[in-house]
Homo-oligomer: A and B are copies of this chain.
Amino acid sequence: MPRSRTMNTSPVPVWGLGFLLSQVGAHAAARFAERLVPLNLTPPHVGVLGVIKHADGLSQQALGEMLCIFPSRLVGLLDELEERGLVERRDSPTDRRAHALYLTQAGRDALEKIGLIARELQDALCAALNKSEREQLAAFLTRIAAQQGLTSGVHPGYRKLGGAEPK
């Protein structure tokens, strides 16, 4: 009886594709967080920056809904980003209760660096795959994400509660 080509040398059972997705995904997330440390940022910070970049002037309320982050949590994240000079809270022109969020130049620069980090990480993670395999993998994951109702750019790890989607 022939052994399978990918022999299991581990002391523990294999839980299938679900486990594999989760395992590799957690690894990717950990490596990303690691590479953000020199920038003094965390993945949720990056999520916030990314949304503001593409929706300049939005309110904290709107931002929280997009990322499924509680308003109270956003306060801290934005405080940190503002301290570091990456984000500005301006007064909303239409509602004196609300803030309008903007990236500073430093914020845009940081996003550039983050994009570079993400590309380097992608290369490192996919070292085992050639170009066409990477494209296939991306296509598979994109289809899964779409079918599962995941929103592009919204990480379940930002979420409040069980990973609900933004409205």
Contact = CB atoms under 8 A, between A and B. Distances in A.
Interface of A: 6, 8-32, 34, 46-47, 50-51, 53-55, 66, 115, 118-119, 121-122, 125-129, 133-134, 136-148, 150-157, 162-163
Given A54-B11, A144-B125, A29 B32 contact: no
Given A6-B142, A145-B20, A157 B26 contact: yes
Taken together, the copies of this chain in the complex come to: 2
B18 A155 contact: no
Given A10-B154, A18-B121, 13 more contacts: A9-B152, A10-B151, A11-B55, A13-B54, A14-B153, A15-B46, A22-B28, A24-B25, A24-B141, A27-B163, A30-B156, A127-B147, A140-B140
Q: Is the interface of A mostly helix, strand, loop or mixed?
A: helix
12 contacts: A6-B139, A12-B54, A13-B50, A15-B46, A16-B122, A18-B118, A18-B121, A18-B125, A21-B28, A22-B26, A22-B32, A22-B155
